[in-house]
Amino acid sequence: DNKPTDEELQWKNTVPLDRVEWLLIGLVLGQLVMGKGMISAVGIEPPTETWLQAHTLVGLAIWVLAIVALIQHWLRRQSPAPIDLSTGRRFWYRAWYALFFLFLLLAPVAGVLQMQYGSKPLSIFGSRLPAWVQPDESMASLFATVHKILAYALAGLIFLQLADILYKVISRGRRARTA
């Protein structure tokens, strides 16, 4: 019998994310560090080809994994929110989930468009992809800004989710001590 135990259900309500989502969160946090490192912490202006290629490959992996996770949820016809959450918490989780995946899908596209409009060659595994758009520095700047805003928005969503989990763990511990 594969029925989850009460303890497993409690944990699922505390941390209502699948393994793929946790992998995506880890990759996004790594991308934030790498992206910030490319721009300022290491002082690389412009970023070296190695940094840029690594950032691009991880961004592509995030984009593909996000699509896989969405297909997985669609095929299972499963709500992203656990069933036994309150209405308010269910709304919060669904909104978080929708924004998280929207930003996961849009950030890599904005990054690629930033590079394409900025006349930066895009190569994956050593193969250069053809330019899809004509170089335009104002569009490159626009997509750089969009990419940065989406990256910070993803970081904010991740930290909200982690704060929510921490709150639930702490409040569950308090309830257990007072019971």
From residue 160, how far is each of 101, 165, 178 by CA, in Å? 15, 9, 27
SS3 124: strand
From residue 132, how far is each of 47, 117, 127 by CA, in Å? 22, 9, 15
Q: Are the CB atoms for 112 and 96 separated by under 8 Å?
A: no
Across the chain, mean pLDDT equals: 81
**Tens of pLDDT, residues 6-61:** 555 554 544 456 778 888 999 999 998 887 666 654 455 556 777 788 888 999 99
Q: Are the CB atoms for 52 and 120 separated by under 8 Å?
A: yes
**Tens of pLDDT, residues 139-171:** 999 999 999 999 999 999 999 988 888 887 787
- Residue of 16, 156, 24 lying closest to 89 (CA atoms): 16
pTM of the model: 0.77
> Is the predicted pLDDT of residue 128 greater than 70, yes or no?
yes
Q: Residue 96 and residue 81: Cα distance in Å, rounded?
A: 10
Quick check: bond before 46 cis, omega within 30?
yes
Return the pLDDT at 83. Answer: 63
**Tens of pLDDT, residues 85-124:** 678 878 888 898 899 999 999 999 999 999 999 988 787 7
